[in-house]
Amino acid sequence: MWEQFVVARVQQPSCYPKRSSVCHPSWSDKEDGYTPPEFTHDSVILNAEDRATGGQWADVQNPSPSLLGKRKTFVGECRQDAVCIRDTSCAYDAKRQRYLFPGGRTGITGRGLLGRFGPNHAADPIVTRMRDGKLQVILIVRNDGSGLLAFPGGMVEVGATHTETLKAEFTQEACLPGGAVDRLFSQYEKRTVYRGPVDDWRTTDEAWIETVAVHFHAPDDIASSLDLEVTDKDEVIKVGWYDAAAVVDSMYASHGAWLRKVLLYMEEEELFRTRASGPSYPLARR
Ligand code: RP5
């Protein structure tokens, strides 16, 4: 599994210490002299659940192993439902009492910029339309120093579901709420494209993001009624429709891999629909 998680080993936000180099990513292989730096950003400490003054979106410094074991995970791409991490084969560091990133060694311990030890759950809406024979997708430019194109996703808040988060993030980061958004999310969901860990540059050995990425395809009347506007300007620089085939190779984290899947599904559907005449928009690059 570690082969898919290159970003988590070689990239990092500028506030992170340099990752130690990793020769053997897999936890089941020995890595002699592996002593990665430990880093947890101040914003994480200041927003811990036991601090009355912060946002309380982060774990306390030393949560109990039993609490961590009950955390839900989608480890293994095929899972439909999240399961308790203690019931999986996820690697565990008994000395530090922490579950370890399923994508292997990252060269940093602690939580970095992530609030939770273990999986930090997110949801990613992938909203597409057809325009001039091409598949277009709504993407944001992230305001996190990466400046990369991404789906308008975000973290699942305590008490919220992935489904609620998909729509909430879409309306905070990409589009004003309204009837078109309601119809899009209630009637035009096509499929869940991915469930599982993300190859995100914030990942550490002990904290990672797991997402559910869901594709919605807007028919013309819905697409033309979507009012694209960024509400959460702290997180997002801008939003727009982009030609999917043109951006698929230069997106944030694992987002390009999910968009490539969408391009392939849509291409298959188009081939099935048109049969002899073939696809009417560019094929995904493989
Ligand atoms: C990615 O980070 C996820 O796929 C999701 O798009 C995003 C969530 O983090 P924030 O945008 O809330 O920082 O790994």
The 10 Å Cβ neighbour count of residue 222 is 20
Q: Is the CB of 151 under 6 A from ligand 1?
A: yes
Q: Is the CB of 150 under 6 A from ligand 1?
A: yes
CA of 98 to the centre of ligand 1 (A): 22
Helical ranges in the chain per DSSP H: 7-10, 42-46, 65-69, 162-173, 179-187, 220-225, 244-247, 255-274
Q: Is the CB of 197 under 6 A from ligand 1?
A: no
CA of 32 to the centre of ligand 1 (A): 33
**pLDDT over 70 for what percent of the chain?**
94
Residue-wise pLDDT for 74-95, tens only, equals: 986 566 789 999 999 999 999 9
CB neighbour list of residue 196: distance below 8 Å, 6 or more residues apart: 74, 75, 76, 77, 79, 210, 211
**Model pTM score:** 0.94
Average pLDDT over residues 178-184: 98
Q: Is the CB of 155 under 6 A from ligand 1?
A: yes
CB neighbour list of residue 29: distance below 8 Å, 6 or more residues apart: none
Q: Which residues of 59-90 are buried (b: 16+ CB within 10 A; e: fewer)?
A: beeebebeebbebebbbeeeeeebeebeebeb
In the block, tokens 């439909």 appear at 80
The reported pLDDT for the residue numbered 286 is 46
Q: Quick one: which H or E segment has residue 127? A: strand 118-131
CA of 155 to the centre of ligand 1 (A): 6
Q: Is the CB of 209 under 6 A from ligand 1?
A: yes
